[in-house]
Amino acid sequence: MLPSAHDFWLRNVRIPHCFLDETVNHRSVIESLAAAPFLEDLVAADLQIQSGQIAAISPVGTASPESPSVDLARSLVLPCFVDLHTHLDKGHIWPRQSNPDGTFDEALAAVMEDASHWDRDDLYQRMEFSLRCAYAHGTQALRTHFDAFGAMAETALEVLAVLQSAWRDRLIIQAVSLVSLDYYLTDQGEQLAQLVAEHGGILGGVAYPNPDLTQQLDRLFDFAAEYDLALDLHVDESLDPASQVLRAVAETKLRHSFENSVVCGHCCSLSVQSTADVAATLERVKAADIGIVSLPMCNLYLQDRQPGLTPRYRGVTILHELKAAGIPVAIASDNTRDPFYAYGDLDGLEVLTHSTRIAHLDRPIADWPLAITRTPADLMGLPTVGRIGIGQSADLILFKARSFSELFARPQSDRVVLRQGQAIDTTLPDYAELDALLGAD
């Protein structure tokens, strides 16, 4: 039980050292903590919270016995999660529209069929359900793509505007348009760019290899520059080594001297390309200052799926190599209970746990927890989110786990989420709430 006071201490906690290296501004505090680190790059500390902010991060034993406090018995403390790539407009349609064979093509067809249901009420109920899940799990900010062909864009943006307003004190929500890039060569493409700008959104789309790719990318970057928009693209979501759209995006950004943020998601084909091709692409991506977001759970689900055969390839991009090249790398949820991914719950811990297992982000875990916290926050332009530091808002997740081994071994459903130093209700919404909407029995 946490103290009810506005000034209290969390005693005897363990904080991943990666969060302290750049977020604690007092060098003497860092040195005193780092002098006695525990296993797995964890630091022992007492953490003081005053009026919703972190007032002190000090060696264990600093907290006065007279101060309101709670002994967390070496429990892990992480900042709240930041989910850089989601699809709230598709979320939870699985009971109404599943994927018959689990492939990408069938997922695309199933979503197109289900889109006839996507009126304002349908979108609002499913999106709001997803936000409640994310919030209860400890997410503080997320970015969602929304299908944006024709009238779909205005409907989705209207719903998202309502949700952004209703949730503004709990969740930061960013919206990205999603169309194939040939759409931007049409008059509707420019109208979409204008609409996204009016709603303060991000311009995006799916970039496929095709003869007109250069023209499509040039037009997209022209619109982004004209309307001062950031870009977020789906690229190379396949296991075709000839798919090298990521390199084309980087070259286009350099050619246009484009200064706004660019994020590219998936990048699966990097995992099957030659060493020379990978090196050439990473050199351009680094030069162009492009951030990468990997979606390990969804890509593992869809890629190399063949009836009756065990998959040979994971479909996950080369996270270690990207990071080693100095390229910002984030991990995120992607789809949730829809034809592209039948599972998921917008839980940042699940993303980190499965990504660690899938992509071997351990031995050591080092600073990989930044990939679901500070790194995506930076790519979203949120300099005070996903951090633990003196003067920062006390937006924290407290786990009973005392090590990463314990953290990744269980779902941690008993976690405590603090927002501005106060524990929130972490009760998850009941799937039965969506039964009537989805026509479930």
259 is an active site residue: no
Residue located via tokens 């250069």:
214
Q: What is the layout of strands, in order, in the sheet containing 416-419?
A: 77-79, 396-398, 416-419, 422-423
- All residues at 6 or more sequence positions from 267 whose CB lies less than 8 Å from its CB, including other chains: 235, 236, 246, 292, 294, 317, 318
Q: In the block, which residue shows the tokens 């055969």?
A: 309
Q: CA-CA distances (angstroms) from residue 339 to 94, 101, 176, 259?
A: 6, 10, 20, 35
| Residues across the chain | 441
Strand partners, 146: 177
Residue type, 373: T
Count CA within 13 A, CB hemisphere, residue 162.
12
Q: What is the token pair recorded at 429? A: 């919404």
**What is the rounded distance in angstroms from the CA atom of residue 386 to the CA atom of residue 244?**
32
Sheet containing 203-207, strands listed edge to edge, beginning at the edge strand earlier in sequence: 203-207, 231-235, 262-266, 291-294, 329-331
Quick one: which of 273, 226, 224, 223 has its CA closest to 245? 273
- Helices then strands, counting H and E runs in the chain, come out as 14, 16
Residue at token pair 């998921």: 344
Structure-derived torsion over alpha carbons of residues 396, 400, 402, 408, reported in degrees to the nearest 10? -90
CA pair distance 277, 394, nearest whole angstrom: 44
C-alpha closest to that of 120 among 168, 93, 79, 160:
160
Considering 22, 66, 128, 237, which one is annotated as catalytic?
Answer: 237
- Quote the CA–CA distance of 297 and 114 in Å, as a whole number: 22
Q: Using the 8-state DSSP alphabet, how is residue 197 labeled?
A: H
Pairing of strands 42-50, 7-16: antiparallel
Give, in order, the Cα–Cα distances in Å from 287 to each of 43, 229, 249, 253, 269: 35, 20, 12, 10, 20
Token output for 249: 């995006």
Q: What is d(CA 358, CA 376) in angstroms, rounded to the nearest whole number?
A: 20
Which residues are identified as catalytic?
Answer: 237
